[in-house]
Amino acid sequence: MKILHIDSSILGNYSVSRQLSAETVARHKAAHPDATVIYRDLATDPVPYLTGAHMAALQGKPVTDTALADDLAIGDGHINDLLAADIVVIGVPMYNFSLPAQLKSWIDRVVVAGKTFRYGASGPEGLLPQGKKAFLISTRGGIYTGDSPAAVLDHQEKYLAAVLAFIGLTDVTWIRAEGLALGQDAKDATIVQAQGEIARLQG
């Protein structure tokens, strides 16, 4: 059993998504004591942004620059992490209605034609091995679910779910803590609710 744990919040010890993602991983470790955890902190060890040189190399241009070769190896490492993991836990705070830039950069490195998806006669096909499970820890300052008028602004959860499905990861469980900016009582209540969901998880 291998668990890939990814954090993307820039708030360090003040981050609710980091707190809840750690509790989620601990829950799975309790269920699978022999599991190996690979931890990636995208805020303290960010994935370099894509450049034209990256795209040229991915399309077959020979790589003669050592720095570029090393950079491409970083991307391959993140792909290998994802391919090897049985369980993926990602802390996903909402920043300005979408994802942290750090997480978007990781996505740009793991959604790669020929490695995590391919184009076939019937269109794109995800290449991630079947059986993987993802547990996505979504934190938001406001309320974006149900009949909230702000639901239309949610480009965080919908986008990430679509990206993961595109590469073949469709067994996704969301643990959500929203309304974190609506006062201390609301914050405490939504964290407790999320913690209850984590306690009931089946690995």
Q: What is the pLDDT of residues 85-142, one digit of tens each?
A: 999 999 999 999 999 999 999 999 999 999 999 998 889 999 999 999 999 999 999 9
Can you state the angle between helices 184-199 and 16-31, rounded to 10 degrees? 20
Query: Has this prediction a pTM greater than 0.75?
Result: yes
What residue type is assigned to position 190 of the chain?
T
Query: Is 16 labelled as part of a ligand binding site?
Result: yes
Q: Mean pLDDT throughout 58-70? A: 86
Identify the pLDDT of residue 65.
Answer: 84
**Would you call 146 helix, strand, or coil by DSSP?**
coil
Token pair 């570029």 is found at 68
Nearest partner of 6 among 91, 83, 85, 81, judged by Cα: 91
Is the pLDDT at 25 greater than 70? The verdict is yes
What residue type is assigned to position 26 of the chain?
A
Query: Is 17 labelled as part of a ligand binding site?
Result: yes
Q: Please tell me the distance from the alpha carbon of residue 98 to that of residue 104, in angstroms, as a whole number.
A: 9
The mean of the pLDDT values for the chain is 95
Using CA of residue 115, residue 116, residue 119, residue 120, what is the dihedral sign?
Answer: positive
Query: Is 51 labelled as part of a ligand binding site?
Result: no
Residue pair 126/169 in contact by the 8 Å Cβ criterion: yes
Least confident stretch, 48-52, 76-80, 111-115, 170-174: 48-52
Query: Is 91 labelled as part of a ligand binding site?
Result: no
Query: Is 95 labelled as part of a ligand binding site?
Result: yes
Tally of domains in the chain = 1
Query: Is 1 labelled as part of a ligand binding site?
Result: no
* Residue 116 DSSP label: T
Query: Is 96 labelled as part of a ligand binding site?
Result: yes
Residue-number span of the structural domain to which 80 is assigned: 2-199
Tell me whether residue 178 is exposed, middle or buried, using C-beta atoms within 10 angstroms of its C-beta: 0 to 12, 13 to 18, 19 or more. Answer: buried
What residue type is assigned to position 163 of the chain?
V
Q: Where are the alpha helices (DSSP H) in 14-65?
A: 16-31, 52-58
Identify the pLDDT of residue 36.
Answer: 98
Q: Looking at the DSSP assignment, which residues form a beta bridge with residue 120?
A: 123
pLDDT 10s digits, 165-178 = 999 999 999 999 99
Whichever domain contains 194, its CATH number is 3.40.50.360
Query: Is 142 labelled as part of a ligand binding site?
Result: yes
Identify the pLDDT of residue 203.
Answer: 60
